Structure 1
Amino acid sequence: MPRLLFLFFFLPLVLQAQAQSVPAKATPVVSALAIPSAQTKTTQALATYLNSHLETEEDKVHAIFFWLVSNIAYDVKTFTNAPLYYEREALIRQTMATRKALCQGYAEVFLDLCTKTDIQAHLITGFILPKGTAKPMTHAWCAAQVNGQWYLFDPTWGAGFVENGVFVKKLNPRHFKVSPAEMIKTHMPFDPLWQLLEQPVSYQQFLSSSPTTLKPKTVFAYKDTLKAYASAAEKARLVGAIRRMESQKVIPPVVLEQLNQSKKNLAVFRKNEAVDLFNTAVSAYNKGIDGLNGFIRLKNNQFKTAKREQDIRQQITGHKKYFSEARELLQRLHPLDNTSLLLSVQSLHQKVAEGLQEIEKQEKFLEVYFSTAPARRHTLFYRQAIAERQ
């Protein structure tokens, strides 16, 4: 049964104008700008170069950020016709090949390079309030752990700004290694976890308050949640994000759209899990049937090729476990997670039950067989054959 293709939600953004000057002390490191062009065709080649020339996480993340903002331009033309969905690896390859991207492309490349240089990082999706408007716009940026401390990075805003429909390249290091307390003034993650704050700001506070007046009261042990997140499977991460988004008293439309998409993605996970469980149950059932058929062939030959009692019993008990395994898997499966499996699941339930009944019947035969004197055992085969015909 084919697996469903899992696609991600695409989040475009027009850059906010940034007028700040670049402090001299934040000038990009030489290694970020002097990398041979042959080593920048792919993220793997670039990461290999960085790993061989830089040792610390600080230097690596610095090189990644400033290489990205120096070499990738904001794709203004694509913004107006941006697709709603994308495939991650394809977007990364496209960004590296064209040297153009929207915010999602910047963030995906940043994340990929961090991952390949052994820096723990996460792509964050959320929304911002562009200057001069109260209408939120979706955006993507990143978090990365450097020397045990989490920081936030926005390579899109760090690359420049859009003015009169034209991208103006202007490196802005203010968006490199931003503290969570500073980032929340302009960037609101959909998942409150990625505010990285012990007192997270609500969506409503972000939309209605001046950044300097945000005074949340809720205490959130985000560090503990991050530890659990790091070891969790992708489905569990998605379930947690949905729960945290739904915990907000007021969910604005921009968040509701992402929440609905997250629930659709969760449904895809559940459908795929149902398919996997069903296929595994089918495999276990087939092994049980193969073993049962082997026993029947042995029995039809009156066990002439298996003289020892232990060997004969093993022919049936050794394969009973597969029917039990199939039954246990089917009990774990929730067919409503994938309604196309309803009839198949019901049918397999019945076949497994029949298989277990047949195993039980053959086990009873063996009890009688081994309690009968060897000289008279051959008569049991004929008696059972006659009984089965009646």
Structure 2
Amino acid sequence: MLERLCLFSPAYFCCLYPNWLGHSFFNYKDLPLAFFYCLALWGVIKSFDQERLSFLKGLIAVALASVGAGAVKIIAIPVMFVPLLGFLYSVVVSKDRIWRLKSCLIALPIALFTLYVVTPVAWVEPVRFIREAIIYMSHHEWRGCTISAGECLKPTGEDWSAFQYWWAWYSVRAPILFLIFMIPCMIFLVAKSNSARILIILSYLLPLSVIFYRNSAMYDGVRHLLFMFPVGVIIIFHAFDVVYNNYMKLRGFIFAVLGLNILSFSVDNVYLYPFNYVYFNEFSREKAKPDQYELDYWGFSLRQAAGRMTAHNRFPDQPLYFEAHPAHLVAPFVESPFIRKDTYYEEGSPYYYIGYTRGNRRMRTGCSQIAKIERRHWLFSDPMNLAFVGYCEDDSSN
């Protein structure tokens, strides 16, 4: 059952979890990386089987997952160390270890060569490229700051804490299924421990521990760690599966928990679309405000704001000026007769002002708000203000 959960429970999670679904529309790397990570875990679980055919399936899965993860994101290779070590452990403890070691020695150069072929950016100096990529991603210089729990946390600041940042976002973005059940499920599985279960738990905890130890730079909420959420789903679903098969009185409880989770995810996806990535869990929706957290990281609400500006245009046959922050995210969705104010402007002319609430931006002084882009969570009345459009009579006060 555990091996099936490694493949199918993450699929359920990725399809329904609004934060994941929303980011997947914009970032093509998260979903494939999570798939390959879970595929590697599935391969390791298969490798613990004593049958040679099962081991070969596991070996192929781990090799494909390692190559795939490297092809998607070369710096993801270190993330695969836990599954790879688990696979090596399954070989060492097997009674058939000699045959299995020979199989690994055959597969290793094939996998390395394939990884080299599918990562042309590393063709010249592959070892140096991987080393520098890892160093860059663990401590790259990102000078911006992310509003998190009311503070503007900056990765380059002296008081930067990766753990503080992670918890500020994890506590509001993670599903309540995680917040309530993750630790109890881990403890439950450890108490009923076997090698496969311990491996799955370590696959979730060790990457986090390394990030906290290295005090790595992070921004944009929990997006950089989205690939780990499916592993958490495997842990929770496997614990539920063990409980379901051994404690009949709790079956109704498990069905109720999962049913409510599916219902909540599904309805929130409808309410938030197409800004699913602004999801906040049920415990934290009163905190979904621009002065507490960054809301629209991708700035997609600016597209709708541009449409509202066009619809409001009172003089369709005359050129009108507009100013936007950031302008490069708005300009592709604005057509003639509108003219960017930073390219040409006649003093004293009215203009539109478009902005989004990232960085707690607000309407410019002296401008009248004519539209705003909002989304509400299910069963929560306060809207999240994502973007706004203002009409400014002249530029004399700015």
TM-score, length-normalised on structure 2? 0.25
Q: Does 1 or 2 have the higher relative contact order (CA < 8 Å, sep 6+)?
A: 2
In our comparison, the structure showing a higher alpha carbon Rg is 1
